[in-house]
Amino acid sequence: MTDGSATTVQKKKTNEKYISSSRSPQVAGKRDRDQEREAQHWIETVIGEKFPAGYVYEDCLRDGILLCRLMNRLSPGIVPKINTSGGDYKMMDNINQFQKACIKYGVADVDLFQTTDLWDRKNVALVTTTIFAVGRAHPEFRGPYLGPRPAEENRREFTEEQLRAGEGLIGLQAGSNKGATQAGLNFGATRKILLGK
């Protein structure tokens, strides 16, 4: 086989694996293809290059190169060295560097995926969640945004008269307050305190 046909066979195997894993109820239920497309479009826009054609979303991110380039575009120099060649450990190191850069950038630890989530394709939905967390970590970033636009301050000024007028009102967010008494309520037996045991 030539190198070109070997690449084609590898792409087909990757797509077959993708199709079979997407039929799994555990994996398919978690993933949101629209969010993945939105995250992919955002990454492509920020870094200025398209994902490689013929590869699925998680395979393009799997080596960590695009993720590291994304972080360096958002915060130049935050990932000091991106491994573009080498074995699996070099590529997994890229993912680890991306995660460290996310923490420096301001992403909360709870929003980060584990390396195996992406490398072994165990939880691609969490990878997408992390990308969305990166997209909202710095609202002052003036590039393209990911997800809902962050809220802007909407300061309002009230007069003393308006503030006093609101003090006499009973808020009805939880429903009606008509007949709101505790009469007839019984929450079980009273508490018995046993001494000496």
**The pair of three-digit structure tokens given for residue 151, joined into one six-digit string:** 């809220």
pLDDT digits (tens, 9 = 90+) for 173-187: 656 666 666 666 666
Mean pLDDT across 82-100: 91
Listed by start position, the domains of the chain span 55-137
pLDDT at 11: 44
Report whether pLDDT(100) > 80.
Answer: yes
Top mean pLDDT of 7-11, 122-126, 181-185 is at 122-126
Using H for helix, E for strand and C for coil, what is the string for 98-151? HHHHHHHHCCCHHHCCCHHHHHCCCCHHHHHHHHHHHHHHCCCCCCCCCCCCCC
Mean pLDDT across 29-34: 80
Mean pLDDT across 20-49: 75
Quick one: CA dihedral 26, 9, 57, 108, positive or negative? positive
Rg (CA), the chain: 26
Mean pLDDT across 76-84: 91
Mean pLDDT across 93-107: 93
Confidence of residue 99 (pLDDT cuts 50, 70, 90): very high
Contacts of 90 (CB under 8 A, 6+ apart): 83
More confident residue, 115 or 174: 115
- Cα–chain center distance at 53: 24
CA distances from 60 to 71, 157, 171 (A): 16, 50, 52
pLDDT at 16: 44
pLDDT at 31: 87
pTM (global) more than 0.85: no
CATH superfamily, with its number, for domain 55-137: Calponin-like domain (1.10.418.10)
Mean pLDDT across 12-38: 58
